[in-house]
């Protein structure tokens, strides 16, 4: 018997999802990661992690992982290619396309992993900037794009919101943080944090058509018809105004448009909301009172509230709800977490005025109705844009995303990807998307690269309920070696390598997401001598609250509560900026909503609602048996009574048909659902043109989504939840 190799245990952070859980990874003498678990000594997470994190090493060592980049040969097949040669060829081909067709000939798609890796986000963005690429698309516009449009129409409160850990109430609308661990409740051990908060009196309000893992802990759970969030939030606002619970002083000093808002929500009486959303009118009134009477708290919406047709107005009303209750930090308040790795800034108790929602350049040729908006170009239109006869797009670069699984309408996506002259994917697996690419640039994976918690910390800019609620930061060096014999680069090195070959000078900015009201430093990269990954991290954390080097030198220090406290500063007396709760642009949408259920279609009597499953992250993990064994697939969950009425039992195959498309799925009972719903997770399935066994591959709910009808203004987010469907035995 061979002697067992010695194993060392290393501290690092999981980078599958935004929780960025601190984990311990066992690594053998060859550098191969073999096991992972939560770091019980980490005072922030207290050992919290999930099954995906447990199998993080396997994601690094799975047979399905690419050890080499791939290029499509003359025979049409993908074959291994040396990384340097791949960069030579990609640079030459992109350069030729740009020379011939101009900068609108190359589009980029940035998926979830793009933002999770600060080096990738910063250097790839620097490369796009240097090429002045305009056609940048991201998963953001098929996620929660109403957050950006609403914030633009409303303005920002520069002192920020109260955080969960200090709040007396918390409202979650279409988000399930105990499973998605995606913010709303702090990422680090959300169940324990919720329990502690409730022990000190926090009142949790959840609005979700499913009695979710989170809703089960709520003081008040409204379980509405999906797609009715505008009615509910308008109803809450109306009741708060009626009961005289508005923070009148805050509104007087800092808010415009109050009368407009009051008039717009006036029709949303408890009786009307009860009829439209099918909720208990008394529970609605109670929720309004609990929320408005609390000293500190916030409301936040998630994907369910953004995917069900009313992304802009729902997010806008959520901001208005927080604002009329004055649920913001005031001068003199301690800022719970000013920051660790983000740029230093001040927190004045003043508004930043609203700014334009749209009008950022010319629309896509395929969607003249969607002028480019603050949320970015509409990803739902990218396939059509590529396929349009007047399309300028010849090449697409996909980074850390999986369009074939994630974009709505995978059949159209497939046609579009095949129509490209050049498709380059930076991707560690041979995904359905990578299989269609001309080049797959294979990256090192996060355990093989240094990393830090910057991306997650920086999320506070996206929504008040995201980011860390305490002064927490973590750095980790590379802890594992790439597989033996592999020829890989870090993601960012591919963009640096392309830039060098294309004669570009790169300049990286600090941070991953822009911080409102704060200029972040920019630094030129040395284009002669390639920087190290750690040097890139230094630049993206330049001028941070705590120098990254301090985290590097003492990895055991992750909480920085001993740093001097930061307090909210008084407003600049010169500032005249006010928040706007009466935006015509947003409230027009409430009038559209009032006109009736515009998404209903006769003959499609069920509604398919979005959800996440705990053991997979979008398309990641759907190919790892240990993560899929619970259901084997992404089942179509239905209420047991609905199953019975349909003559179906657990495990039977059902056919779901929307006005746009159809799929087969495995039926599964879920007593926590409202009747009349099908709840199903996305990013499963396989090549829609190939035969497959749905019990093994699952089904892609994108097949039911139309990218032509029912797309929201500005972002073009299609109806991705509350989709009318017909359900029948397959």
Ligand X SMILES: Nc1nc2c(c(=O)[nH]1)N[C@H]1C(S)=C(S)[C@@H](COP(=O)(O)OP(=O)(O)OC[C@H]3O[C@@H](n4cnc5c(=O)[nH]c(N)nc54)[C@H](O)[C@@H]3O)O[C@H]1N2
Q: How far apart (Å, rounded) are the C-alpha atoms in residues 620 and 71?
A: 23
Residue with smaller CB distance to ligand X, 23 or 158: 23
SS3 string, 644-670, reads HHCCCCCCCEEEEECCCCEEEEEEEEC
- Token representation of residue 535: 């040097």
Q: Which of 10, 11, 12, 21 binds ligand SF4 (CB under 6 A)?
A: 21
At 256, which helix (H) or strand (E)? strand 255-256
Contact present, 636 and 698 (Cβ < 8 Å): no
Residue with smaller CB distance to ligand X, 302 or 531: 302
Rounded to a whole number of angstroms, the minimum distance from the CB of residue 46 to ligand SF4 is 13
List the single partner that 379 binds among ligand X, Mo ion, ligand SF4, none, CB under 5 to 8 Å by kind: none
Residue with smaller CB distance to ligand X, 391 or 413: 413
Q: Which of 405, 423, 471, 542 binds ligand X (CB under 6 A)?
A: 405
Q: Which of 294, 683, 699, 711 binds ligand X (CB under 6 A)?
A: 683
Q: Which of 121, 173, 241, 719 binds ligand X (CB under 6 A)?
A: 173
Rounded to a whole number of angstroms, the minimum distance from the CB of residue 721 to ligand SF4 is 22
Q: Does 614 bind ligand X (CB under 6 A)?
A: yes
Task: Indicate the DSSP class of residue 379.
Answer: G
Residue with smaller CB distance to ligand X, 167 or 619: 619
Q: How far apart (Å, rounded) are the C-alpha atoms in residues 439 and 708?
A: 30
Rounded to a whole number of angstroms, the minimum distance from the CB of residue 700 to ligand X is 7
Binding mask 440-479 for ligand SF4 (x = CB under 6 A): ----------------------------------------
CA-closest candidate to residue 519, choices 343, 266, 723: 343
List the single partner that 317 binds among Mo ion, ligand SF4, ligand X, none, CB under 5 to 8 Å by kind: none
Rounded to a whole number of angstroms, the minimum distance from the CB of residue 455 to Mo ion is 13
List the single partner that 349 binds among ligand SF4, Mo ion, ligand X, none, CB under 5 to 8 Å by kind: none
Q: How far apart (Å, rounded) are the C-alpha atoms in residues 378 and 709?
A: 14
Residues 280-299 close enough to bind ligand X by CB under 6 A: none
Contact present, 617 and 16 (Cβ < 8 Å): yes
Q: Closest CB to ligand SF4 belongs to which residue?
A: 53
Residue with smaller CB distance to Mo ion, 58 or 143: 143
User: Which whole-number Å values give the CA distances from 330 to 411, 457, 461, in the listed order?
Assistant: 51, 22, 18
Binding mask 260-299 for ligand SF4 (x = CB under 6 A): ----------------------------------------
Residues 99-158 close enough to bind ligand SF4 by CB under 6 A: none
CA-closest candidate to residue 243, choices 180, 183, 291: 291
Residue with smaller CB distance to Mo ion, 143 or 256: 143
Residue with smaller CB distance to ligand X, 350 or 706: 706
Query: Which positions ≥6 away from 555 have C-beta within 8 Å?
Result: 11, 474, 475, 476
Contact present, 506 and 127 (Cβ < 8 Å): yes
Residue with smaller CB distance to Mo ion, 143 or 457: 143
Residue with smaller CB distance to ligand SF4, 49 or 468: 49
Left, alpha or beta for 485 (phi > 0: left; psi -120 to 50: alpha)? left
Q: How far apart (Å, rounded) are the C-alpha atoms in residues 121 and 515?
A: 15
Rounded to a whole number of angstroms, the minimum distance from the CB of residue 406 to Mo ion is 8
Q: Does 14 bind ligand SF4 (CB under 6 A)?
A: yes
Planar angle of CA 413, 418, 423, nearest 5 degrees = 95
- Token representation of residue 418: 């095949």
Q: Does 634 bind ligand SF4 (CB under 6 A)?
A: no
Q: How far apart (Å, rounded) are the C-alpha atoms in residues 539 and 520?
A: 11
Q: Which of 160, 235, 372, 401 binds ligand X (CB under 6 A)?
A: 401
Contact present, 142 and 720 (Cβ < 8 Å): yes
Q: Does 427 bind Mo ion (CB under 5 A)?
A: no
CA-closest candidate to residue 584, choices 576, 572, 573, 592: 592
Residue with smaller CB distance to ligand SF4, 16 or 128: 16
Binding mask 24-53 for ligand SF4 (x = CB under 6 A): -------------------------xx-xx
CA-closest candidate to residue 681, choices 662, 665, 660, 659: 665
Q: Which of 10, 11, 12, 20 binds ligand SF4 (CB under 6 A)?
A: 20
Task: Indicate the DSSP class of residue 446.
Answer: G
The Cβ-side half-sphere exposure at 548, using a 13 Å CA radius, reads 24
Q: What phi and psi values does residue 249 have, to the nearest 5 degrees?
A: -65, -45
Contact present, 268 and 573 (Cβ < 8 Å): no
Residue with smaller CB distance to ligand X, 337 or 701: 701
Site residue total, ligand SF4 (CB under 6 A): 11
Furthest-apart CA atoms within the chain: distance in Å: 81
List the single partner that 405 binds among ligand SF4, ligand X, Mo ion, none, CB under 5 to 8 Å by kind: ligand X
Contact present, 334 and 203 (Cβ < 8 Å): no
Q: How far apart (Å, rounded) are the C-alpha atoms in residues 127 and 8?
A: 37
Q: Which of 612, 639, 660, 713 binds ligand X (CB under 6 A)?
A: 612
- Token representation of residue 593: 């909503």
Residues 155-194 close enough to bind ligand SF4 by CB under 6 A: 181
Residue with smaller CB distance to ligand X, 354 or 401: 401
Residue with smaller CB distance to ligand SF4, 340 or 386: 340
Q: How far apart (Å, rounded) are the C-alpha atoms in residues 160 and 196?
A: 23
Secondary structure (DSSP) of 205-246: EEE-SB--TTGGG-SEEE-PPTT-HHHHHHHHHHHHHHTT-S
Site residue total, Mo ion (CB under 5 A): 1
Partners of residue 617 on adjacent β-strands: 620
Residues 86-145 close enough to bind Mo ion by CB under 5 A: 143
Rounded to a whole number of angstroms, the minimum distance from the CB of residue 25 to ligand SF4 is 11
Stretch that binds ligand X, among 265-273, 427-435, 472-480, 595-603 (CB under 6 A): 427-435
By the criterion CB under 6 A, which residues form the site for ligand X? 17, 111-113, 117, 139, 142-143, 173-177, 179-182, 207-210, 212, 226-227, 229, 302-305, 307-308, 399-403, 405-406, 426-429, 431, 443, 445-446, 491, 609-612, 614, 616-620, 679, 682-683, 701-702, 705, 720-722
Which residues of the shown chain bind ligand SF4 in the complex (CB under 6 A)? 14, 16-17, 19-21, 49-50, 52-53, 181
User: Which spans of this chain sit near Mo ion (rule: CB under 5 A)?
Assistant: 143
């Amino acid at each position: 018997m061979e002697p067992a190799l010695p194993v060392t245990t290393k501290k690092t952070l999981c980078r599958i999802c935004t929780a960025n859980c601190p984990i311990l990874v066992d690594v053998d003498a060859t550098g191969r990661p073999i096991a992972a678990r939560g770091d019980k000594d980490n005072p922030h997470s207290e050992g919290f992690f999930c099954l995906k994190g447990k199998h993080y090493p396997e994601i690094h060592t799975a047979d399905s992982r690419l050890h080499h980049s791939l290029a499509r040969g003359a025979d049409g097949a993908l074959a291994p290619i040396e990384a340097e040669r791949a960069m030579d060829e990609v640079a030459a081909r992109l350069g030729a396309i740009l020379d011939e067709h101009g900068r609108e000939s190359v589009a980029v798609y940035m998926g979830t992993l793009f933002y999770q890796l600060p080096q990738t986000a910063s250097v790839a963005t620097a490369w796009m900037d240097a090429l002045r690429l305009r056609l940048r698309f991201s998963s953001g516009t098929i996620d929660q794009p109403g957050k950006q449009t609403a914030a633009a129409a409303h303005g920002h409160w520069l002192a920020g919101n109260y955080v969960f850990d200090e709040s007396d109430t918390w409202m979650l609308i279409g988000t399930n943080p105990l499973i998605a661990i995606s913010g709303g409740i702090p990422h680090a051990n959300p169940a324990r944090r919720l329990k502690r908060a409730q022990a000190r009196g926090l009142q949790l309000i959840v609005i979700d058509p499913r009695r979710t893992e989170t809703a089960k802990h709520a003081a008040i759970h409204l379980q509405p018809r999906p797609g009715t969030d505008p009615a509910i939030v308008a109803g809450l606002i109306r009741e708060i105004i009626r009961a005289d619970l508005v923070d009148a002083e805050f509104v007087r000093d800092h808010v415009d448009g109050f009368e407009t808002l009051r008039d717009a929500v006036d029709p949303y009486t408890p009786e009307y909301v009860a009829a439209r959303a099918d909720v208990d009118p008394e529970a609605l009134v109670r929720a309004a009172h609990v929320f408005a009477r609390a000293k500190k708290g916030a409301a936040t919406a998630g994907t369910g509230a953004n995917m069900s047709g009313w992304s802009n107005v729902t997010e806008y009303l959520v901001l208005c709800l927080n604002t009329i209750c004055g649920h913001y930090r005031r001068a003199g308040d301690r800022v719970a977490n000013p920051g660790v790795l983000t740029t230093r800034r001040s927190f004045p108790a003043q508004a930043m005025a609203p700014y334009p929602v749209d009008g950022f350049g010319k629309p896509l040729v395929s969607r003249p109705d969607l002028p480019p908006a603050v949320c970015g170009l509409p990803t739902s239109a990218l396939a059509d844009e590529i396929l349009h006869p007047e399309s300028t797009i010849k090449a697409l670069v996909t980074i850390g995303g999986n369009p074939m699984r994630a974009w709505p309408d995978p059949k159209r996506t497939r046609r579009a990807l095949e129509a490209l002259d050049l498709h380059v994917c930076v991707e560690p697996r041979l995904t359905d998307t990578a299989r269609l690419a001309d080049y797959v640039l294979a990256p090192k994976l996060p355990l093989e690269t240094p990393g830090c918690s910057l991306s997650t910390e920086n999320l506070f800019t996206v929504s008040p309920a995201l980011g860390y609620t305490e002064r927490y930061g973590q750095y980790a060096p590379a802890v594992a070696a790439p597989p033996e014999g592999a020829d890989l680069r870090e993601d960012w090195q591919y963009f640096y390598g392309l830039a060098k070959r294309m004669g570009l000078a790169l300049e990286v900015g600090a941070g991953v997401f822009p911080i409102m009201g704060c200029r972040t430093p920019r630094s030129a990269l040395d284009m002669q001598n390639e920087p190290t990954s750690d040097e890139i991290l230094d630049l993206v954390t330049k001028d941070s609250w705590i120098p990254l080097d301090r985290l590097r030198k003492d990895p055991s220090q992750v909480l920085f509560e001993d740093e001097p406290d930061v307090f909210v500063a008084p407003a600049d007396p010169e500032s005249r900026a006010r928040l706007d709760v009466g935006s015509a642009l947003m409230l027009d949408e409430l009038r559209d909503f009032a006109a009736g259920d515009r998404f209903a279609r006769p003959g499609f009597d069920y509604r398919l609602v979005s959800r996440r499953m705990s053991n997979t992250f979008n398309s990641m993990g759907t190919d790892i048996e240990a993560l899929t064994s619970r259901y084997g697939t992404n089942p179509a969950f239905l209420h047991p009574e609905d199953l019975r009425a349909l003559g179906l039992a657990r495990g039977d195959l059902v056919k779901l048909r929307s006005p746009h498309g159809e799929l087969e799925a495995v039926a599964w009972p879920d007593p926590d659902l409202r009747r009349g719903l099908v709840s199903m997770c996305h990013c499963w399935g396989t090549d829609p043109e190939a035969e497959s066994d749905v019990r093994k591959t699952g089904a892609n709910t994108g097949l039911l989504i139309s990218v032509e009808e029912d797309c929201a203004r500005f972002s073009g987010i299609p109806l991705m939840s509350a989709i009318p469907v017909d359900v029948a035995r397959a």
